[in-house]
Chain A
Amino acid sequence: MAPQQTLLIILLAPLVSATLIALFGRKNGLLSASISVLSAGIQMVLTLSILFGNWSGDAITCSYEWLKLGALDVNLGFYLTPLAGLLLFVVTFVGFCIHVFSIGYSDDDEARGRFFGGLSIFMFSMTGIVLSANLFMIFIFWELVGFSSYMLIGHYLFKQSAANAAKKAFIVNRVGDFGFLVGIIWCFWHYGTTDLATLQSILVGSPMLATGTATAIALCLFCGVLGKSAQMPLHVWLPDAMEGPTPVSALIHAATMVAAGVYLLGRIWFVYTPDALNVVAFIGTITACYAAFCAFGVKDIKKILAYSTLSQLGYLVAAFALGTLYATQHGDHGLTGVGTAHFHLTTHAFFKALMFLGAGSVIHACHHEQDLFKMGGLLKRMPITSITFLVGVIAISGIPPFAGFYSKDAILYLAQQENSVIFYALTATAFLTALYMGRLFFVAFLGKARSEHVEHAKESSFVMWLPLVVLAVCSVLGGFEGFYPEALKHFLEANVLHPEGEAHHQMLIMSLCLGLGGLLVAFLIYMKPAKRGSDTLETKVPVVFNVLKGRLYFDEIYNYYVAKIQQRFAYVVSFLEQTFIQRLFVRGSGALTSVIGTMVRSVNNGNVQAYVFWFLIGLVLFWVFAIGGF
C-alpha cells in the first residue's frame, strides 16, 4: 500500500471512529471506548509501519486541488518530512497510551461516549495539523483542534467552572488565531503561495527575508503560536483548562495540542528573520520564567503540572528561536532550532503525559481529590504510580541518563552560545523546575496521608498502570537516538546540537547540580512544614507566596478590559447598527418596495374598461418599438 494511502487511513480512522460513536455509541460507554481505542491503535500501528518500514526520510507528498479562485490555489495534501514523522509518532503513540488509560479513568463517568467521541475528533484534528501541506489546511485543522479542546474542557457539563474555562480557552485562542490568519493572508499576498514546500524553496537564503515586511509576517504567524502554545500574554487559558478530565489534560494540554504551536514554528522556520527570532526567544524565556514562579503559588496538583507545561513550552519556543539564530550565523543547518525544539518536545511529551496520567491515577484513586496538601503517603499505597511518577520527575529535572537531560542540555548549550541573558534565565528556570516538581512529589507521595479519601486509596487497575509503565520506559530511553527509527534518527542526529568535549563535561556537571540541588532544596523546605498539611512557603514567607499566587493579575486585567472597555465599544457599535443598517437600509428598502408595490397595484381596480385602456397603451409601446423609436 502506497504511503499516501496509509497516511490517508491514519488521518481518517479517528474521524470514522467519532462518527460511529456519534451515531451508535452515545449511550453505550464500553462500545465507544473500544471503537476509539481501536482507531488510536490503528493509527499507531500504521505510523510505526511507515516509520520502521524502510523510509529513507525523503518527503512524502500528495496533493489534491480543492479551491481555485483566480490566483488563489488552496490544495489539500500531505507533506510528510522527518519532522512530521517525529510528531506523528509522538501524537499517535502517546495518544494510544492515553486512550488505554482513559478506559480505566472514565469508568465512573456517565458521559463516556461523548468523552471518547471528543478524543477521536481531537486525534483527527491533530493528525491533520501534523500532515498538512499548506498553511490554509493547517489553519482549518487548527480551528478544529480548538473546537475539540473546547468540547473536552467543558466535558463535565454540570460544572459552571468547566464551562467558563472552555469558553476562555476558545476565546483566547481565537485572539491568537486572528493574528495567525492575518499572517497567512499576508504571507500569501507577499510571497504568492502558502504551500510549505514551495515556500521553503523560495525563501531559504533569499534576500526577501531582509525586509521589515518579512518580520511582520513572521510575527503575525507567531500570534497563532501565542494562542495555541499559551505564550505570554495569551497564556491565561492553560491553567484554567485543567477543569477537563485528566486524560484530556494529558493528551491535549501537555503532549500534543500545545505542542502544535511549536510544530507550526518548525514547519515554517524559513519565514523567520533574525529580528523576529529575537522577539520569539524573549517571549519564550519570559513565559518559562513566569510560569516557573507561578507554580509555587498553587496547590492543585493539576495546576502545578499545567504551569510546568507552560514553562516547558517557553523552553521549546526559546529553543527554536535560539537554534535558528545559531544556524543562520553558522551558515548551515537551518534546522538546528527545529531539531532541538522538537527533540525536547518529544521527551517532554513522554514525561509530561506520564506525570499527568500519574496524577490522574492518583485523583481517580482518591475520589477526585486534587489538593496537593490533602494527599500524602501514596508511595506505600500506590507503588507503581509513585515509581513511574518519580521517573517523570527525575526526567523533567534534567538528571542524566534520563531523557530530559539530553534535550534540556541541548537547549541550554544553544542558549549559552547565543545570548547570555537568556542562558542565565533558562538555567535559573531549570533549577526552579526541579524545585517545584520536588515539592509536588514529596508532598503528595511521601509522608503520611492527610485526608480520609487518601487513606483508602489503592493502586489503579491494569489498564491504568500499563500506559504509565510504558511511558516511563520511554522517558528513560527517549534521550538516546538509537531509540528512534531510521529516518527520525538521521533527522535528530543532524539537527540537535549536542555539546562536545569540554563543554560537554561542563554542561553535565551543571545539569546534575541543578537537578539534584533543586530536589534536595525542595525536600528540605517542604518535608517538614510548621503545621501538618500546610505549605511552608505560605506560612513562613506569606508575602512571597501571595505575590506568586497573584500571578501578575493577568486574569483581572483582561476581565477589566473586556467588561469595561470592550463592552462599551460593543454597545456603541450595536447602536449604530440598529439605527443605520437596521432601520435605514433593511427596513427602508422594504418600505420603499412596499410603496412602489402599492402604487403599481392601484392599476388593478376591477374595472374592465380600464384594463382595455392599458391594452392600448401596451399596443402603442409595441408599435413604437417596432418602428424603432427606442
Chain B
Amino acid sequence: MFDILFYIFAALTVLTAILIPICRNPVNGAMFMIASFVGTACLFVLLEAYFLAILQIMVYAGAIIVLFLFIIMLLNVDKVKHLRPSIVAQVAALFALLILSLGVGSLFLSGAANPMPEISVDSTASMARNFGYLLFTKYMLPFQVSGFLLLVSMIGVILLSKKLPVTTTKVGEDA
C-alpha cells in the first residue's frame, strides 16, 4: 500500500519538477513548482516527518512561491518565444548529465543502502515535542543564529528595494 503511494507521489514530484525549466511562461513555472512542493510534502508524510510536511507547505508553497509570483507580476516578465540555449550551454548540460547520472548510478549500484524495511519507532505522536526538544537544547545556537539571519535578510531586503535617487543628467533625458 505504501509502495504504491510512494510511487504516485514520487511521480508527481518528479514530473512537475521536470516541467519547471521547460515552461515558457514563468507563472506556469511557479504553479508547477507548487505542485512539486506538495508532492515533496507528501513524501515527507510517508517518511513520518509530519511537522516538516506542514512546514514545507506553509513556508515553501505558501510564502516563497507567493513571493515569486509577486515579483513576476511586478517585473512583467513575458513569455519566451523559443527556448534556445546556446551550443555551449547544451554541451555543458550534456557533460553535467553524464556526471550526475554517474553519481546517481553509483549510488544505486553500490548497494550502500540495503533495501531494508523501515524500522518503526515509538512515540511518533510526540514528534513535534521531540522536535522542539532538540531545537532548544542541542541546536540552540543555530536556532538563535537563524533568527538573527532572518533579521539581517529583512533589513537587507528593505535596503535593497529602496528606489535609487533620481539623478538629473545635464544632457537631456536618456532611456
A616 and B96 contacting across the interface, CB-CB below 8 Å: yes
Contacting residues, chain B, for A616 (C-beta < 8 A): 96, 99
Question: Please, which residues of chain B bring their CB within 8 A of the CB of A609?
Answer: 89, 92
**B96: which of A610, A613, A623 is its contact (CB, 8 Å)?**
A613
Verify if A620 is at the interface (C-beta below 8 Å from B). yes
A623:B103 contact, CB within 8 angstroms:
yes
- Please indicate the chain B residues that have their CB under 8 angstroms from the CB of A613 in the complex: 92, 96
Provide the bound-state CA to CA distance between A620 and B92, in Å. Answer: 14
Q: How many A-B residue pairs have CB under 8 A?
A: 11
Shortest C-beta distance, A185 to chain B (Å), equals 62
Contact with B along A597-630 (1 / 0, CB 8 A): 0000000000001100100100010010000000
Q: Shortest CB–CB separation between residue B55 and chain A, in angstroms?
A: 27
A22 CB, nearest partner CB in chain B, Å: 61
Give residues of chain B (91-117) contacting chain A, Cβ–Cβ below 8 Å: 92, 96, 99, 103
Residue of A nearest to B85 (CB): A609
Residues of B within 8 A of A620 (CB): 99, 103
A64 to chain B: closest CB distance in Å? 57
Instruction: Specify which chain B residues have a CB less than 8 angstroms from the CB of A623 in the assembled complex.
Output: 103
B99 / chain A contacts, CB cutoff of 8 Å = 616, 620
The interface bits of chain B over 63-101 (1 if a CB of A lies within 8 angstroms of the residue's CB, else 0) are: 000000000000000000000000011001000100100
Q: In the complex, A103→B130 CA distance in Å? A: 100
Q: How far is the CA of A613 from the CA of B88 in the complex (A)?
A: 11
Interface size on A, residues (CB 8 A): 6
Docked CA distance A623–B99 (Å): 11
Near A by CB (< 8 A), chain B positions 114-170 give none
CA distance A616 to B94 in the complex (A): 13
Interface residues of A in 230-289 (CB under 8 A from B): none
Write the nearest CB–CB distance from B133 to chain A, whole angstroms: 32
In the complex, what's the smallest C-beta–C-beta distance from A168 to chain B, in angstroms?
A: 72
Give Cα A610–Cα B88 distance, bound, in whole angstroms: 9
Give bound CA distance, A616 to B92, whole Å.
10
Alpha-carbon distance A260/B75, docked complex (angstroms): 92
Cβ contacts under 8 Å, B89 to chain A:
609
Indicate with 1 or 0, residue by residue over A169-183, a CB within 8 angstroms of chain B CB atoms. Answer: 000000000000000
Closest to B91 in A: A613
A610 to B96, CA, bound (A): 12
- Please give me the residue from chain B that is nearest to A620 by CB atom: B99
Q: State the Cβ distance, B97 to closest chain A Cβ, in Å.
A: 11
A-chain residues with CB within 8 Å of residue B88 when the two chains form the complex = 610
Q: B76 CB to closest chain A CB, in angstroms? A: 22
Whole-angstrom distance between the Cβ of A609 and the nearest chain B Cβ: 6
Bound-state CA distance A613–B98 (Å) is 13
Q: Give B92's nearest chain A residue, CB to CB.
A: A613
Say how far A429's CB is from chain B's closest CB, in angstroms: 95
* Chain B nearest Cβ from A629, distance in angstroms: 11
Q: Mark A576-613, 1 if CB is under 8 A from B, else 0.
A: 00000000000000000000000000000000011001
**Distance to closest chain B CB from A217 (angstroms):** 71
Mask for A382-397, Cβ within 8 A of B = 1, else 0?
0000000000000000
How far, in whole Å, are A610 and B103 apart by their CA atoms in the complex? 21
- How far apart are the CA atoms of A478 and B116 in the complex, in Å? 113
8 A Cβ contacts from A376-417 to B: none
Residues of A within 8 A of B103 (CB): 620, 623
* Separation of A609 and B89 alpha carbons in the complex (Å): 8
> How far is A224 from B89 in the complex, measured between Cα atoms in Å?
76
Q: With the chains together, A630 CA to B88 CA distance in Å?
A: 29
User: How far, in whole Å, are A329 and B103 apart by their CA atoms in the complex?
Assistant: 93
* Chain A residue nearest to B95 in the complex (CB): A613
Query: Which residues of chain A have C-beta atoms less than 8 A from B96's C-beta?
Result: 613, 616
B160 vs chain A, min Cβ distance (A): 18
| Cα–Cα, bound, A485→B23 (Å) | 112
Query: In this complex, what residue of A is CB-closest to B88?
Result: A610
Interface of chain A residues 542 through 566 with chain B (CB within 8 A): none
Measured in the bound complex, the distance between the Cα atoms of B150 and A430 in whole Å is 105
Chain B nearest Cβ from A615, distance in angstroms: 10
Q: In the assembly, what is the distance between CA of A623 and CA of B89, in Å?
A: 23
A181 to B96, CA, bound (A): 68
Q: How far is the CA of A14 from the CA of B50 in the complex (A)?
A: 92
Query: What CA separation (Å) do A623 and B102 show in the bound complex?
Result: 12
Cα A620 to Cα B96 with chains together (Å): 10
Which A-chain residue is minimally distant from B103 (CB atoms)? A623
Residue of B nearest to A627 (CB): B106
The CA of A613 and the CA of B89, in the complex, are separated in Å by 9
Closest chain B CB from A216 CB (angstroms): 71
B102 to chain A, nearest CB (A): 9
> Closest CB-CB distance, A572 to chain B, in whole Å?
55
Q: Give the shortest distance, in Å, between A604 (CB) and chain B (any CB).
A: 15
CB distance from A445 to the nearest CB of B (A): 95
Report Cα–Cα, A610/B89, bound state, in Å: 8
CB-based nearest B residue for A616: B96
Instruction: Output the least CB separation between B45 and chain A (Å).
Output: 30
A621 vs chain B, min Cβ distance (A) = 11
A302 to B63, CA, bound (A): 105
CB-based nearest A residue for B100: A616
Tell me the complex Cα distance, A616–B88, Å: 15
Cα separation A624 to B96 with both chains bound (whole Å)? 15
The smallest C-beta distance from A628 to any residue of chain B, in angstroms, reads 13
Distance in angstroms between the alpha carbons of A620 and B103 in the assembled complex:
9
Q: Which residues of B contact A610 (CB under 8 A)?
A: 88, 92
Please give the distance in Å from A142's CB to the nearest CB on chain B: 70
Nearest Cβ distance between residue B135 and chain A, in whole angstroms? 29
**Quick one: which of A102-128 are within 8 Å of B by CB?**
none
Distance in angstroms between the alpha carbons of A308 and B99 in the assembled complex:
94
CB nearest neighbor in B for A609: B89
How many Å from the CB of A625 to the closest CB on chain B? 14
Bound-state Cα–Cα, A613 to B93, Å: 8
* CA of A466 to CA of B103, assembled, Å: 102
Interface string of B2-20 (1 = CB under 8 A from A): 0000000000000000000
Contacts of B92 in A (CB 8 A): 609-610, 613
B87 → chain A, closest Cβ, in Å?
A: 13
CB distance from A28 to the nearest CB of B (A): 64
Q: What is the bound-complex CA distance between A609 and B88, given in angstroms?
A: 10
How near does chain B come to A618, taking the closest CB pair, in angstroms?
12
Q: How far is the CB of B83 from chain A (nearest CB, A)?
A: 14
In the A-B complex, the 8 residue pairs with the closest CB atoms: A613-B92, A620-B99, A616-B96, A609-B89, A613-B96, A616-B99, A623-B103, A610-B92
Residue ranges of A at the interface with B (Cβ–Cβ < 8 Å): 609-610, 613, 616, 620, 623
Beyond A616-B96, A620-B99, 9 additional contacts (C-beta under 8 Å) are: A609-B89, A609-B92, A610-B88, A610-B92, A613-B92, A613-B96, A616-B99, A620-B103, A623-B103
Between A and B, 11 residue pairs with Cβ closer than 8 Å are A609-B89, A609-B92, A610-B88, A610-B92, A613-B92, A613-B96, A616-B96, A616-B99, A620-B99, A620-B103, A623-B103
